[in-house]
Structure formats: structure tokens, C-alpha cells
Amino acid sequence: MALHLQREIERLKKQILTLSAVVEDNLQKAVKSISDRDAKLAQRVIDRDFDIDDLEVEVEEECLKTLALHQPVANDLRFIIAVLKINNDLERIGDLAVNIAERAIYLSQREPLTVPFDMPRMASLAQHMLHKALDALVTLDPVLANSVCASDDDVDALNRETYARIEDRIRRDPDHIDCYINFLAISRQLERIADHTTNIAQDVIYMIDGNIVRHHREDARSDAPVR
Amino acid sequence: MALHLQREIERLKKQILTLSAVVEDNLQKAVKSISDRDAKLAQRVIDRDFDIDDLEVEVEEECLKTLALHQPVANDLRFIIAVLKINNDLERIGDLAVNIAERAIYLSQREPLTVPFDMPRMASLAQHMLHKALDALVTLDPVLANSVCASDDDVDALNRETYARIEDRIRRDPDHIDCYINFLAISRQLERIADHTTNIAQDVIYMIDGNIVRHHREDARSDAPVR
């Protein structure tokens, strides 16, 4: 029985890594579709999200099956619960990438504008966080997981900066309010992706040492009032 | 053993209802703090969120304890997994109420403006959805849960309307861009609250009949590009 359970856990690890690889790839393509004004690439991101949804359902069913058949306790139980929650966050990151891609299609049909915030830096931070959080899950590394939580503050700061910058742009160029509001939303989606990634890292920490690190007061303020 | 497990499940039901009652109350107060420009009430919402965070941690620990001690299968297992996920969504709804309250404090310090979108209707829809979703969990009523999912479209439509209205307001009154961007965010937070509530209803449906109703294509589009 224990051997079967260990095999199931290895299988779950592989499944969640497959899911996260597709999510990472889709996120990277969604951001590229904004900077390249590439509506076709954006449509590919949207279509690929069906695979992400299917993978999420598979992981959840596998978790439930493992819980029912092997009735794991202690570390194994915590691992499976962590995978269940991480699975959920990955799927939502996938949805946010779709939302970015939908805005890419919209923006590609409007007059070209320079992106009014540091999208490359925000996107690369969020992508690195996601990659590290999943590495931390696989290697059971709490130090790595903690470093993910720390990076969330940088993304929050960049998002706050975006608000100020875009407010200024709208003032100077009110003819493109619709585009600027879409850019604002893209910045916010990247910030929410970093939040979900932080949730993943916190679940990894909890799984490793039973220490609940959620509920820093900062969480709710990440998308804070303008000025 | 089975009797103990049933007692545990009753206990979990009570805990999740306590949590949802506090979340509902905090959401209602957060919206009131916007319409009444009441910074003190908003601060009470923010302070109360600590209780919500504590309750969420308690529910999660109770779920893990029940899984480890009683090793439930079939319906009982599905119920506990549903509570774990619903718990998570309730806590995030709590965070979104805090975000609305923070904006109430900001807006109360600025010149009074009429709320530029149908906030009472959006808020009341979201609150009703939340109440019905929890009712559906307790009464195991899939019809009620389905009606929650249907209401989500109405909230999404109102949120899309807000974008158009606020774009227009900014054009006519650019001196208050900062306030309008905050109102836009409040509308979006209400829309996200309705999304989390829909997740809850979908988990209830899954728990009752094993039918996965997630992943309608509409989900990601709820916060869709402007025009």
C-alpha cells in the first residue's frame, strides 16, 4: 500500500509540473502578444486554455482518488492537499493569461501606443516567481518558497506605479482612454498572477513545515487605492 | 467511527457558516462605507478581516484533522474537499471587501462625487449570490447552486457597463481621474466577489452530483476588454 501511495504521489508531482509548464508557456505567449500586437498568437493562448482546464480537472480527480484509495496521513496528506490548492491557483493563472490575450486582440485593432508601464519587468518577475514556486514544491525547499513571497512586494510596487503613470497618460491623451484602461487591467492581471504564485509558495511552506504564512496584511493592499 | 465522522462534518458545516456570516457582514459594511463616505466604518471592516483570516485557518486545520483521523471516502470525502475550497474562496472575498473599504477611506478624503455605476445593484446581486451558495451547501440543493452560477452573468454585464460609463465620466471630468479609477476598481472587486461565489456554487454542485461544471468559457471574459 505505501509503495502504491508513493507511486501515486510521484504521478501527481508529474501531473502538476505538466500543468504548470503549459500555464507558464501560455503566460509568456500572452505577454508577447501584447508587445508584438499579435492577435493570432493571442488567439492561440485562448484556445490552449482548454487544455489547462482539462489538466486541472484531471489533477483534482487524481487527488480525490488518491485520498479515497490510500487514505494518506501526515506528510503525504499535506502534500495532496497542497497539490489540490496549487492546482486551483494554476488554473486561475491560466484564466488571467487568457484575459491578457483578449486585451491583446482588442489593442491590436487600435492605433499603436507604447506600453505605458514596465510590462517586461512585471511579467518577467511574475514568471520567475511561478517557476521558483513549482521548483520549491518539487525540491521541498522552503528557502526558495520564501524568496517567492518576498518578490511579491516588488510586483505590487510596480503595479502601484502603473496606476500613477496611466492616470498621467489619460490626462495628456484622453482620446485613448479605452486603451489605457486596458493597459491598467493588464498590469493588474500580472499583479494577480504574482498573488496566486505567492499563494502557491505559501502552500509549499505550509506543506513542508506546517507553518501557516498566509495573511500578511499586505495581501489585500496589493491592488491599493490610487495615491 | 462513522458517528464521530458525522459529528465532525456537522462541526465543519457550522464553522463554514460562521465564517460566511462574518464575510457577508463585512462585505455589506464595505459597500455601505463607500455610499456613506464613512471612513470609520471602513476601518472596522479592515480590522475585522483579522477574524476572517483566523477562522479560515481554523477551518483548514479542522479539515486536515478530519481527513487524517477519519479517512472519509465517497460523499464525506467530497464534502470535506468542497469545504476546503469554499473556505479559500470565502477568505478571498474577505480580502476583496477590505480592498473596497480601503478605497472608501481614500474616497472619503476627496471631494464628494456620485458613484458612477450601479453599485447598489451589483452589491446586492453579489450578496444574494453568496447567501444562496452557502444555503445550497447546507441544504445540498443543486438547483439553488445552479441559480447562483446564472446570476454571475448579470454581475459581469453590470461590470462591463461600468467600464463604459467611467470612461465617459473621465472624459467629461478629467480632474477626478484618481477617484474614477478607484470606482472602476470597486466595480471590479464586486465582479470578482461574484466570481468567487460562483466557484463556491460550482463546488457545491460537484460535491452533490460529481458533475464538474467549471470552465465555462465566460469565466475569463467577465473582466473583458473595454468595448
pLDDT of A96-134, one tens digit each? 999 999 999 999 999 999 999 999 999 999 999 999 999
Those residues of chain A that have pLDDT short of 70 are 1, 211-224, 226-227
Q: A178–B184: do the CB atoms touch at under 8 Å?
A: no
In this complex, is the C-beta atom of A49 within 8 Å of any C-beta atom belonging to chain B?
yes
Chain A environment of B223 (Cβ under 8 Å): 99, 185
Answer yes or no: are the C-beta atoms of B167 and B226 closer than 8 Å.
yes
Find how far residue A137's CA is from the centre of its chain.
Answer: 15
Closest chain B residue to A60, measured at CA:
B81
**Nine cell digits for residue A46:** 485562448
- Inspect the interface and report whether the beta carbons of B177 and A167 lie closer than 8 Å: yes
Query: How confident is the model at residue A211, as a pLDDT?
Result: 61
Contact check, Cβ <8 Å, A182/B226: yes
ipTM above 0.95 for this complex: no
Residues B61 and B65: their CA atoms lie apart, in Å, by 6
Q: What is the pLDDT along chain B (227 residues), one digit of tens a residue?
A: 588 999 999 999 999 999 999 999 999 999 999 999 999 999 999 999 999 999 999 999 999 999 999 989 888 999 999 999 999 999 999 999 999 999 999 999 999 999 999 999 999 999 999 999 999 999 999 999 999 999 999 999 999 999 999 999 999 999 999 999 999 999 999 999 999 999 999 999 988 877 666 665 444 445 667 66
Compute the C-alpha angle A40/A46/A51, nearest 5°: 125
pLDDT of residue A212: 60
Q: Which amino acid is at B1?
A: M
Residue B25 CB neighbours (<10 A): 13
Angle B201-A196-A116 from CA coordinates, rounded to 5°:
115
Query: Inter-chain contact B215–A53, Cβ cutoff 8 Å?
Result: yes
Residue B194 pLDDT = 97
* Rounded-to-integer distance, Cα A60 and Cα A69, Å: 14
Largest CA distance in chain A: 68
**Is A1 in the B-facing interface, judged by CB distances under 8 Å?**
no
- In 3D space, the residue among A113, A127, A114 whose CA is nearest the CA of residue A155 turns out to be A127
Q: Judge whether A68 is closer than 8 Å to chain B, CB to CB.
A: yes
Distance of alpha carbon A44 from the chain centroid: 18
SS (H, E, C) chain B: CHHHHHHHHHHHHHHHHHHHHHHHHHHHHHHHHHHCCCHHHHHHHHHHHHHHHHHHHHHHHHHHHHHHHHCCCHHHHHHHHHHHHHHHHHHHHHHHHHHHHHHHHHHHCCCCCCCCCCHHHHHHHHHHHHHHHHHHHHHCCHHHHHHHHHHHHHHHHHHHHHHHHHHHHHHHCHHHHHHHHHHHHHHHHHHHHHHHHHHHHHHHHHHHHCCCCCCCCHHHHCCCCCC
Q: Which residue has the cell 500586437?
A: A37
Chain A residue with minimal CA distance to B221?
Answer: A99
Instruction: From residue B223, give the alpha-carbon distance in Å to each of A95, A99, A182.
Output: 11, 7, 10
| Selection from B174, B170, B150 nearest residue B226 by Cα | B170
Answer yes or no: do B99 and A221 touch at CB < 8 A: yes
Cell of A139: 525540491
Distance CA B82, CA B96 (A): 21
